[in-house]
Amino acid sequence: MAWLAALLLVVAVGLGNHGNAQVTQGPTMRAFHVISDIKYHYAITRVFCRFVNPSTQAGEAFFIVTLPDQAYITNFVMEENGRVYKGHMRKKRKYDRAVKAGKSAGRVALDARDSSQFMIAVNIAAQGKATFNLTYEQLLIRHLGVYTNTISVSPQQIVDEMSVRVHIEEPSAISHLEVSELQVPGTSPSGSGNRVALGKIKEISSWEKEVTWAPTPDQQRQQGTEGFRGQLVVKYDVHREPPALQTYGDQQDFINFFAPDTLTQLSKYILFILDYSGSMATRKTEQLKEAMMEILSDLQPTDYFSIVVFQFKVKVWSLTDGIFMADQINTKAQNGNVGYIVQSTAVNVAQAQQFLRDFSDSGGTNIIRSLRTGLELVNVASDYWVRNGTQSPLPIIVFLTDGLPNEEESDTNVIVSSITAENTRRCSIHTLGFGDDADMEFLRKLSLSNNGTARAIYEASDASSQLNDFYKSIGSPLVSNITFNFLPNLVNISANTITRFPMFTKGSEIVVCGKLRKSKVKRHSKIGVLNGVSASGSINYPILFNPKGFRKRRSIPTESQSYFEKIWAHVSIQQLLDEADTLDGDEKNRTLDKASELSLKYSFATPVSSVVVVKPNEEIVLDAVPVQAGTWSYSDGVGIGQVEQPSTSVNYKQPPVIESPNYTQPIPSASSGLNG
């Protein structure tokens, strides 16, 4: 699964022209507005663009939107040469979630990490106009203590009217809000200290804030002839009233948010399985070593770790014996030698770091043997702690590779089925695909089948930071073996989203959605209980229905379609697609059919549904196609270093109210007046 650490919400809009004509002679973007409304961490984002063609000849323009792979388009309307066309959803004939990155038509923005691209080309008549309205929705995932909404802007020209507005309204007080100026992932921010922060924060109430960004044409010109280019990043978090489990809803649907960040961290046993094959040589290996220095330093004294390195041979590092072949593990264990299960003391960590600094290797890629070695270590360690009468730390495997299996077993389906069957202790296996050659489809299936997550690590100057960021997202477990148990007389159990989770990590959030069986459930009624295991033992949280939250006023106004129902549908579809990626044959097809039914019912353009625009004598099928970051630039090769972006940050800590810019009107509809 393409992963967005903090869960990023990304939009990029670009304009392209065919032929050698200058932009001023062909279609020109006159207005670009984005409005993103967030309630209950669910973002509904509307993108509006207006183009005019001042030329005496027809010209082609491209409307391009780049969005995260878990954001779904819900509406698309365009007006072309005076006629309005509205998109509708249709079931896809073929499931294409696993389309290889980089095969989409059109150009790909350099900052299009973990994303999909929506594009449509229109031919604008001489002196004509065209407008586009696109809406997409996404549940923002809490990552490292914040929800992140990132809007990327790449108009490729100076735009007369440009604005971004992010409106946040939550049932709990907003405890932190910040906005950073445009930046491009994987690059160093501008060093210029005289740039003015254009992002503005307006405090409406403790639970309602608004961020606006509206550069004038003159401010755009200060960035270069093509104006602004980069990502506008908005991060926020909410106050967690006791208890750590919050339940909101209406008389049909409900959502549980679970984030007990104040609990004591569980001790863990983390196994690092690291690819040292020939393709990892030089730069990748150096970035991996740099990241591992920091990761090892972040381990707690109560944690344990092991290091497995592999190419066509698999080796294990031992505190007492140094490096040895993996097939010696059991022999050493039988002799009482478990020096490869290392407690994270400062001295031991320093020795491990020195080993990684000095170690180098090359060869093929024996993935199945390295993973089996990891599972063998989990079993040996568990037996060791049982014999010693101590509580076993929570086992976690982190597996990193940059290529395809080519030793012992090359069939990825065989590897997944074998490792899943052998993982009898249901240890979480998290996978990292380093670079363009990593098979993320395989790694995703492996992780989803083994209680883990998959992350693509991009080959860029910030690769070490990407690795560190991933570790921080899984490295602080606070609760394990989490189960939401609902009362069947009040809750429709069959409609629940996933209710069992291997662990909760600090700074994240567990979301469970469901449907009430009774039409009227009183406020604070107990509809179930959450069970789990913390550092102090078993924990139990009552699941109390609390539709209004803790604010001393009315609840968030209801919409024509409930936010809770939208969130339930969104999460259900995503989980069905995840489940389908672990299945084969008829079982996979039945799961995809369920996802398709929900996608069409709730008008989501997903990997199993498409946006279709019907025009005279033409039917256009529009899909958001997975893309590969860094392949192209909207500026046709203009280096990102030539358009530096400010990196100042406006932090909402102490509340002086900063007034919003002038643009506050709603996005125009496709049928509204278009003044060129």
| Helix ranges, 430-562 (H) | 440-448, 463-474
pLDDT, one tens digit per residue, over 255-276 is: 999 999 999 999 999 999 999 9
C-beta separation of 42 from 559 below 8 A: no
More confident of the two residues 113 and 88 = 88
* Same domain membership, residue 95 and residue 42: yes
* Same domain membership, residue 133 and residue 74: yes
* Same domain membership, residue 35 and residue 104: yes
- Residue 371 has a pLDDT of 98
DSSP state of 411: -
Of the pLDDT bands very low, low, confident and very high (cuts 50, 70, 90), residue 518 is confident
Looking at 452, 475, 498, the residue that finishes a domain is: 475
Q: Which two tokens stand for residue 314?
A: 């698999």
Tokens 């010696």 — which residue? Answer: 328
* Same domain membership, residue 219 and residue 303: no
> Can you tell me the mean pLDDT for 224-245?
87
Does residue 287 form part of some domain? yes
Tokens 């049909």 — which residue? Answer: 252
Choice among 117-126, 467-476, 526-535 with the minimum mean pLDDT = 117-126
C-beta separation of 7 from 147 below 8 A: yes
* Same domain membership, residue 425 and residue 357: yes
Looking at 430, 448, 475, the residue that finishes a domain is: 475
Looking at 475, 493, 510, the residue that finishes a domain is: 475
- Residue 548 has a pLDDT of 61
Of the pLDDT bands very low, low, confident and very high (cuts 50, 70, 90), residue 95 is low
* Helix, strand or coil, per DSSP, at residue 502: strand
Give me the domain span that covers residue 458. Answer: 268-475
pLDDT of residue 639 exceeding 90, the answer is no
Tokens 């009468």 — which residue? Answer: 389
pLDDT of residue 553 exceeding 60, the answer is no
- Residue 666 has a pLDDT of 40
> Can you tell me the mean pLDDT for 565-586?
95
* Same domain membership, residue 178 and residue 317: no
* Same domain membership, residue 350 and residue 208: no
Percent of the chain with pLDDT over 90: 64
Does residue 97 form part of some domain? yes
Does residue 664 form part of some domain? no
* Same domain membership, residue 404 and residue 325: yes
Does residue 137 form part of some domain? yes
DSSP 421-461: HH-TT--EEEEEEESTTS-HHHHHHHHHTTT--EEEE-SST
Of the pLDDT bands very low, low, confident and very high (cuts 50, 70, 90), residue 25 is low
* Same domain membership, residue 326 and residue 225: no
> Can you tell me the mean pLDDT for 24-31?
82
Does residue 525 form part of some domain? no
Number of H helices, E strands in the chain: 10, 33
Q: Which two tokens stand for residue 463?
A: 């690769």
- Residue 465 has a pLDDT of 92
What is the helix (H) or strand (E) element at residue 372, kind and residue range? helix 367-387
C-beta separation of 513 from 598 below 8 A: no
DSSP 567-607: HHHHHHHHHHHHHHTT--HHHHHHHHHHHHHHHHHTT-B-T
User: What's the helix, strand, coil split of the chain in %, to 5?
Assistant: 20, 35, 45
> Can you tell me the mean pLDDT for 503-532?
93
Query: Going by C-beta distance under 8 Å and a sequence separation of 6 or more, which residues neighbour residue 498?
Result: 512, 575
Degrees, nearest 5: CA angle 300-306-308: 145
Mean pLDDT over the full length of the chain: 83
C-beta separation of 401 from 438 below 8 A: yes
CATH of the domain at 51: 2.60.40
pLDDT, one tens digit per residue, over 277-295 is: 888 878 899 999 999 999 9
Q: Tally the domains of the chain.
A: 2
Distances (CA, A) of 461 to 185, 386, 446, 457: 10, 44, 27, 11
Q: Which two tokens stand for residue 28?
A: 């020109």
C-beta separation of 369 from 314 below 8 A: yes
CATH of the domain at 308: 3.40.50.410
Sheet (strand 88-91) strand order: 88-91, 609-615, 618-622
> Can you tell me the mean pLDDT for 615-631?
67
* Same domain membership, residue 363 and residue 226: no
Q: Which two tokens stand for residue 126?
A: 């001489």
Does residue 260 form part of some domain? no
Residues in the chain: 676
> Can you tell me the mean pLDDT for 33-47?
96
* Same domain membership, residue 54 and residue 181: yes
- Residue 114 has a pLDDT of 65
Choice among 34-43, 87-96, 366-375 with the minimum mean pLDDT = 87-96
Does residue 654 form part of some domain? no
Distance CA 449, CA 262 (A): 30
> Can you tell me the mean pLDDT for 593-621?
91
Q: How far is CA 127 from the centre of its chain?
A: 41
Does residue 534 form part of some domain? no
Percent of the chain with pLDDT over 70: 81
Alpha carbons within 13 angstroms on the beta-carbon side of residue 444 total 17
> Can you tell me the mean pLDDT for 305-328?
96
* Same domain membership, residue 423 and residue 279: yes
